[in-house]
A and B are shown apart, each in its own frame.
Chain A
Amino acid sequence: MDLLKRKHKDVQGIIFINLTRVLFFLLVAVLFLLLGKIIFEGAGIVSLEFIFDSPRNNMTEGGIGPAIFGTIAVTFIMIFFAVPLGVFSAIYLNEYAKDTFFTRVIRTSINNLAGVPSIVFGLFGLGFFILFVGRNIDDVLQTGLLFGQPALLWASATLAILVLPIVIVSTLEALNSVPKSHRDASYGLGATKWQTIKHVVLPQARPGILTGTILAISRGAGETAPILFLGAAFFLPNLPVVDICIGDYCIPMINPTEQFMYLAYHIFILATQSANPTRSLPIQYGSTLVLIALTFLLNITAIIFRYRFRKILGRL
């Protein structure tokens, strides 16, 4: 490329190339400014006490403990729905399905599922999970109105569908990058298709699946719109926990039929419906800092994972 430098000066080129550079670094600067503001305002209030305490005094004091618990509980159950379904789906598409019209329709619907607005997922969760599935479970089990109302379980299930494309795409990429020669070697030893997938393909794809899971958690924890009317609560005095007792031993378990507090939703209500905005503002910045730190930590972990995974595969 040194040859090019001898040419006449391309003034227009220099201007535009530097313009893209300036615009790019302007973006990065805005990103850091945004983060800086949140860290600057929030760092003073975030402490262990803040993370574990309950909100007090109409949300102007105390911490965000129940909201963090709710976020962990919802994403935990979400992962139980989304990861097996997504991984199995990707195994089918990459290992079993041939390139037919039908599989192309499936691939298109994965793309489209990723593009459905999150608020529409909320409507779907309400119409399908609560009013259709939940009410029918109540009718069959004679449980009154237990499942047919907004609850942690339905929020998790709805978020699971929302993050399903992320899991599928990450797993597909991981499966696709396992070299064909490894599969051939396995078949050559007389292994069946399932044995090959189980012992050769999946172990190598594990980091990719983990990346997808982490990205899914980070996405799920940051979503607010779908859970607005699926059981996210302004304030709950008790955690959505139930004691399951066997004899004298009681183990506290997440109660999937209760409402819950959610970190992202907590930020939303503090910002728009706070009784005393000036006094709750520090708590709001603190909550935002915790949520941002959580999603960034997860995303950075996923990025490092993927980077190392690709490097290993590059050597093969």
Chain B
Amino acid sequence: MADTQTNILDTPNSESPVESSFGKKIKKSTRIKEGLIKYFFAVNGVMALVFIILIFVFLFKEGFKAMDHIGLFDFVYLNQVQSDGSVQRVYEWYPTSEEARYSLIPLILGTLLTAIPATIISTFFGVAAGIYLSEIANPKLKEFLKPMIELFAGIPTVVLGFIMLAVGASFFNDLLNPENRLNAFIASIGLSFVIIPVIASLTEDALHSIPNDLRMASYGIGATKWQTIRHVILPAAFSGVSASIILGFGRAIGETMIVLMASGNAANITANIFNSVRTMTATIAAEMGEVSHGSDHYYALFFIGIVLFTITFILNLFAEIIINRMRKKNSF
């Protein structure tokens, strides 16, 4: 729900703080008090930055301890000696076996196999919903429909996971007869429920921020409504729409409960969307409760956390740069 409002963060307060021109008349004690109050707010103001840094530091502090026992390449593959003496590379996530295997490849594949289809489905629905809300729905109806998208975004993910597990899995099992009852496809349908509202509301914001002059100019030269949307509005809002898709993709990668409940949680190396997969988030969620603190497995899970944090951080930063550029360009 915060997504619809994030634009406020990028519009810094333009007014300059007013200093009293009668500075000499203000009592010294008042001035000290004002200074202290400002200092107090400044300390609180930097908290978001402090927490980002703390998250970064503590993830890396724990995650890099994994390097003591598990090499960086062990997170990719393990050279396993076969019974006939030959050496074979295995790409497996099997941290509890005697010869623990920590390859992240199946987990990354699982994450992509749920996140990419979810993003594609959500782009289709989300952008269409954004266009409808911003350009087509009549304003009175929009007042009523926009909160609906917000309510949609407010559904707890554990509820969506449960619905996909209890209802969605059976429904698609009868319909498509997949290899595994719980699979990447079910999970990505569940994920779409989370990402569609994100893409829809951000797309609506992006389209809404296009100046009305452009629409009028387009109508003026005889374009129809759809031609205006297709050839004027969408190209002008292209960066905003793509930023919304990137943010949606970031959310899909970071989402935990839905994939934990609906993806089947088997660390397969597969490109088949109807197979069970295990994502990075679900691995942390399912295994962290059972490992002993300080074991290799424990540090390996923090390492996955680093990978997740880094990916989402880069995606968010990327989207923000795009949005800021767009805002500068559109402020005529």
Chain A residues packing against B (C-beta within 8 Å): 1, 4, 7, 10, 12-14, 16-17, 19-21, 23-24, 26-28, 31, 34, 37-38, 84-85, 88-89, 91-99, 103-124, 126-128, 131-132, 161, 164-166, 168-170, 172-173, 176, 180, 183-184, 187, 190, 192-194, 215, 218-219, 221-225, 228-229, 264-265, 267-268, 271-272, 281, 284, 288, 291-292, 295-296, 299-300, 303
> Whose C-beta in chain A lies nearest to the C-beta of B5?
A169
Contact B305 A123 (CB under 8 A): yes
Within the assembled complex, what's the spacing in Å between the Cα atoms of A116 and B257? 15
The residue of chain A having its C-beta at the shortest distance from the C-beta of B38 within the complex is A96
How far does the alpha carbon of A104 sit from the alpha carbon of B250 in the complex, in Å? 22
Main secondary structure of the interface of A (DSSP, over half): helix
User: Are A96 and B308 in contact, with the CB atoms below 8 A?
Assistant: no
Interface of B is mostly: helix
Shortest Cβ distance from residue B205 to the other chain A in the assembled complex, whole angstroms: 13
Q: A193-B17, A268-B161, A303-B147 are in contact. Are A165 and B313 (CB under 8 A)?
A: no
Whether, in the assembled complex, B125 has its beta carbon less than 8 Å from a beta carbon of chain A, the answer is yes
**CB nearest neighbor in A for B15:** A180
**Residue pair A165, B254 in contact (C-beta under 8 Å):** no
Instruction: State the Cβ distance, B149 to closest chain A Cβ, in Å.
Output: 8
B85 close to A (CB within 8 Å): no
Further contacts, 15 of them, CB under 8 A, given A169-B6, A272-B165, A303-B151 = A20-B136, A23-B129, A89-B46, A96-B45, A106-B48, A120-B305, A127-B61, A169-B9, A193-B18, A194-B37, A222-B156, A224-B158, A268-B261, A295-B155, A303-B147
A132-B58, A172-B9 given as contacts; is B250 within 8 A of A115 (CB)? yes
What are the residues of chain A within 8 A of B87 when measuring CB–CB? none
Instruction: Contact check, A123 vs B42: say whether CB atoms are below 8 A apart.
Output: no
Whether B166 contacts A176 by the Cβ 8 Å rule is no
Query: In the bound complex, how far is the Cα of B136 from the Cα of A19, in angstroms?
Result: 11
Given contact pairs A17-B226, A169-B5, A119 touches B150 in the complex (Cβ within 8 A): no
Q: Cβ of B313: which chain A residues have Cβ within 8 Å of it?
A: 112, 115-116
In the complex, which of the residues B161, B162, B261, B309 contacts A116, with contact meaning CB atoms closer than 8 Å?
A: B309
Chain B interface bracket (under 10, 10 to 19, 20 to 34, 35 or more): 35 or more
Whether A113 pairs with B129 at a CB distance below 8 angstroms is no
- Tell me if B196 and A27 are in contact (CB < 8 A): yes
Evaluate whether A296 and B131 lie within 8 angstroms (CB atoms) in the complex, with A96-B42, A172-B9, A223-B156 already known.
no
Shortest beta-carbon distance from A290 to chain B in Å: 11
Cα–Cα, bound, A121→B44 (Å): 20
Per-position contact with A for B209-231: 1 when CB-CB < 8 Å, else 0? 00000000001001011110110
Which of B158, B250, B302 touches A264 (beta carbons < 8 Å)? Answer: B158
> A290 to B234, alpha carbons, bound, how many Å?
41
Q: B266 an interface residue at 8 Å Cβ cutoff?
A: no
Q: Is B325 an interface residue (CB 8 A)?
A: no
Chain B residues 19 to 48 lying within 8 A of chain A, measured CB to CB, are 20, 22, 26, 30, 33-34, 37-38, 40-42, 44-48
Q: Is A117 in contact with B281, judged by CB distance below 8 angstroms? A: yes
